[in-house]
Amino acid sequence: MTEKQSVVNGWEEAYKSQALTGASSQDVPFLWQERPIPFLEDAHLLAELRRGNVTRVLDAGCGDARNSLALAREGYFVVGVDIAPTAINLAAERSVRTCHNRVVFSVDDISDLRVAGPFDLVVCADTLGQLADPSPAIASFHRVLRPGGLLLFNVYSTQDGTFGKGTPVDSMSFLYKDCLFKYFTEASVRMLVADWEDVEIKKSTWVDPPHGDFRPEPHVHDSFVVLARKGLNHARQ
């Protein structure tokens, strides 16, 4: 099995298991939670995005739409992509049910995006750490952003409450329920965006509720949250 097949299977099974918890598609709860990831509720960050003339947003690794729908409520036009077809089905059904007309969903691989863009902002929440090598995804984000566009993502630190859970792959990576979880130091985060401009890295800590059968207990997340800008004259193949 290839790395990509393993990633697809792990997350597909997680979302399929969650889908079975509802009596119908309308009753399926969010796998993570209904509210967006906490840093997307940060007033300072939202104001910074507005100053960046953001209209078109790619939610890369959108899962079952918690962040996509929150971004749409903020007035952005959103394309949500995920590698797990069940997640995209749940997201699309939820969007139609709640009459969100500013967001569309598609199955896609963030490491080799088919969606063309250009986008003003790429948001990648809780997703880059599921890749053994996040660099191809970072390159894909760079390609689909307009010159001067923004990239916003987070990755877990070694202080995260889930660090060490599962089978060790190496000192910074663990396989948990067939899904990879990779953790980062600030130095390794800076390497990911070494050729981007106006890089800001902040720490963010929050308590997450249980996630169905996937993580059935409350847990603390400790993340590096990164905002970076694509250069106006910087092209990458």
CATH of the domain at 106: 3.40.50.150
Q: Torsion over CA of 142, 8, 33 and 77, rounded to 10 degrees?
A: 40
User: Domain for residue 237, yes or no?
Assistant: no
Q: Is 218 helix (H, G, I), strand (E, B) or coil?
A: coil
Instruction: Decide if 128 contacts 226 (C-beta within 8 A).
Output: no
Q: Where are the beta strands (DSSP E) in the chain?
A: 56-60, 77-82, 103-107, 119-124, 145-156, 167-170, 173-176, 179-182, 197-208, 219-229
The pTM of the whole model exceeds 0.95: no
pLDDT at 237: 39
User: Domain for residue 234, yes or no?
Assistant: no
Q: Which domain holds residue 126?
A: 3-229
pLDDT at 168: 97
User: What letter represents residue 109's amino acid?
Assistant: D
User: Domain for residue 218, yes or no?
Assistant: yes
Distances 187 to 37, 184, 192, 203 between C-alpha atoms, Å: 23, 8, 9, 13
Q: Tens digit of pLDDT per residue, the chain (237 long)?
A: 556 655 667 778 877 877 777 656 666 777 777 789 999 999 888 888 888 789 999 999 998 889 999 999 989 999 999 999 999 988 988 888 776 778 999 999 999 999 988 999 999 999 999 999 999 999 999 999 999 999 999 999 999 999 999 999 999 999 998 889 999 999 999 999 999 999 999 999 999 888 878 889 999 999 999 999 999 875 443
- What total of structural domains would you count in the chain? 1
